[in-house]
């Protein structure tokens, strides 16, 4: 979701410059910085950004610069600002201090109705808004292009992470048969102790044997993990959304955790730790995809 786009469009009267910055975010949050004169357009601008960018923390800035006096729709209300200035100066003197003229002018210019806005004709207002929309559209297009480039880089990272987990899974498959003799020795020792006991219960023995077989068998987990990895890559190629990829990553995590808990083998458990490390990288990146 990281992106940046800017555009400047102008006509004979004004020049409109739009900048859009997009940062990664789980939700869609827009901060608009536009001239006060065009504040009535903010809702329309937000609707355009929402429809086009979908998700992320978006900072939108629009500047409108008149190219000549005829294009300036806003003028300073000098009589009113002078009145504000005198009143603020008198108030400061009554309070017993000498104010800074620059600070007084700044405060006066921020008072209500300090600027007069000349109303445009319907034709001029439409032409002005069309110019703004053109600048907004061009900036959005550049921002989306930036996002696409970032997305391609992220997709390459995903493939590397998934391949790393797949390679670790191959090592788990190679180690799996090696742990069987150790498990078998442990079970045979337990069987010898139970069978020599006077309280040996054959039914209980069969239950325990089934329990150990199920507890140590990770065949199904390996198959499901491999399928989840393949599914993730398939969804990545069809430009799936971040939420779906995150769900698949959660399923990958469940299988990895189960393998780690059932393997009862130090080598496999080390491989599982490495898998989890790669998976965390995937989860972090899925939060950055629209």
User: DSSP for 150-171?
Assistant: HHHHHHHHHHHHHHHHHHHHHH
Stretch 137-159: mean pLDDT, rounded? 90
pLDDT at 196: 65
pLDDT at 126: 87
Domain boundaries, the chain: 3-73+123-149, 78-109, 150-286
Residue 17, CB-side half-sphere exposure with 13 Å CA sphere = 4
Q: Which residue has the higher pLDDT, 228 or 184?
A: 228
Q: Over the chain, what is the mean pLDDT?
A: 85
Stretch 1-20: mean pLDDT, rounded? 90
Give me the torsion for CA of 66, 72, 76, 78, rounded to 10°: 120
Answer whether residue 202 shows pLDDT above 70: no
Answer whether residue 25 shows pLDDT above 70: yes
Stretch 95-105: mean pLDDT, rounded? 89
Class of domain 3-73+123-149: alpha beta
User: Predicted confidence band at 212 (pLDDT cuts at 50, 70, 90)?
Assistant: low
């Amino acid at each position: 979701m990281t992106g940046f786009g800017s555009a400047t469009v102008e006509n004979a009267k004004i020049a409109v410059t739009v900048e859009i910055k997009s940062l990664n975010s789980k939700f869609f949050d827009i901060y608009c910085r536009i001239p006060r004169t065009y504040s009535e357009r903010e809702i329309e601008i937000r609707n355009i950004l929402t429809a086009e960018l979908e998700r992320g923390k978006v900072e939108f800035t629009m500047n409108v610069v008149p190219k000549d006096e005829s294009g300036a729709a806003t003028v300073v209300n000098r009589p009113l600002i002078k009145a504000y200035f005198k009143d603020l100066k008198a108030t400061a003197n009554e309070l017993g201090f000498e104010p800074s003229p620059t600070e007084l002018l700044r405060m006066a210019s921020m008072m209500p109705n300090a600027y007069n806005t000349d109303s445009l004709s319907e034709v001029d207002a439409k032409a002005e808004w069309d110019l703004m929309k053109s600048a907004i559209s061009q900036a959005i297009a550049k921002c989306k292009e930036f996002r696409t480039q970032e997305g391609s880089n992220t997709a390459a990272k995903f493939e590397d992470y998934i391949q790393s987990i797949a390679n670790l899974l191959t090592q788990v498959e190679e180690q799996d048969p090696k742990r069987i003799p150790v498990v078998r020795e442990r079970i045979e020792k337990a069987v010898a102790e139970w069978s020599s006991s006077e309280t040996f219960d054959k039914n209980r023995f069969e239950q325990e044997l089934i329990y150990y077989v199920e507890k140590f068998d990770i065949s199904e987990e390996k198959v499901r993990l491999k399928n989840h990895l393949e599914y993730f890559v398939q969804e990545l190629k069809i430009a799936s959304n971040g939420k779906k990829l995150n769900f698949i990553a959660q399923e990958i995590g469940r299988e990895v955790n189960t393998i780690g808990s059932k393997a009862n083998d130090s080598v496999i458990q080390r491989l599982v730790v490495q898998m989890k490390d790669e998976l965390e990288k995937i989860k972090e990146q899925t939060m950055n995809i629209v």
